[in-house]
Amino acid sequence: MQKPMGRIDTVAVSSRMQIPGVIPLVRARTLSYTVRMDFDGTIDANPTIEVYYSPDGNNWDNLTYAAQAVAFTINTTRQQTFIIDPPEHGHISIWVLNNSQNGVITNVIGWYSIQSWPPWEGDSRGLIDTAEVYD
């Protein structure tokens, strides 16, 4: 894997923390995000990975763009990759929500990979205003 985007030492009981860093989107087509975390022996609920969007990196949505639960197993490390259909431009931040009333999550690490559209204009056929099709 590439260098991690960010790390969180501990996500406390019933709390939420952002994985440090922001993912820039430029002509983004597909975003894959991988999260690895350790569960202690008292965790009692699946954590949720939350994705938030900002068009400019400063003004963030207060509703999640996407969210996914991670199935927990006590005293183990879990790694899971999520495929996100992102907007083509803007910024994404990743948060970890610890839904457990008893256990902490530790050693959270995140990585991402983006597939982008090419920088030139997309392929098109025909003229929309005349409905003519050229073969």
DSSP state of 45: S
Domain residues for the domain of 35 are 6-106
Q: How far apart are CA 18 and CA 82, in angstroms?
A: 16
Which of 86, 11, 75, 71 has its CA nearest to residue 42? Answer: 75
Specify the length of the chain in residues.
135
Q: Is residue 116 part of a domain?
A: no
pLDDT at 134: 46
Number of domains observed in the structure of the chain: 1
pLDDT at 123: 53
- The pTM for the full model equals 0.84
pLDDT at residue 3 greater than cutoff 80: no
Cβ atoms of 59 and 22 closer than 8 Å: no
| CATH number of the domain bearing residue 53 | 2.60.120.260
Mean pLDDT of the chain: 88
- Among the residue ranges 18-32, 34-48, 119-133, the one predicted with the least confidence is 119-133
Q: Is residue 1 part of a domain?
A: no
State pLDDT tens for residues 55-95.
999 999 999 999 999 999 999 999 999 999 999 999 999 99
DSSP notation for 104-130: -EEEEEEEEEEEE--SSPPP--SBTTT
Q: How far apart are CA 93 and CA 4, in angstroms?
A: 14
Cα angle value 23/29/32 (rounded, 5°) = 55
Cβ-based neighbours of 66, under 8 Å, separated by 6 or more: 50, 51, 82, 84
Q: Is residue 17 part of a domain?
A: yes
- Among the residue ranges 8-17, 39-48, 67-76, 125-134, the one predicted with the least confidence is 125-134
Cβ atoms of 84 and 50 closer than 8 Å: no
Q: Is residue 51 part of a domain?
A: yes
pLDDT at 122: 54
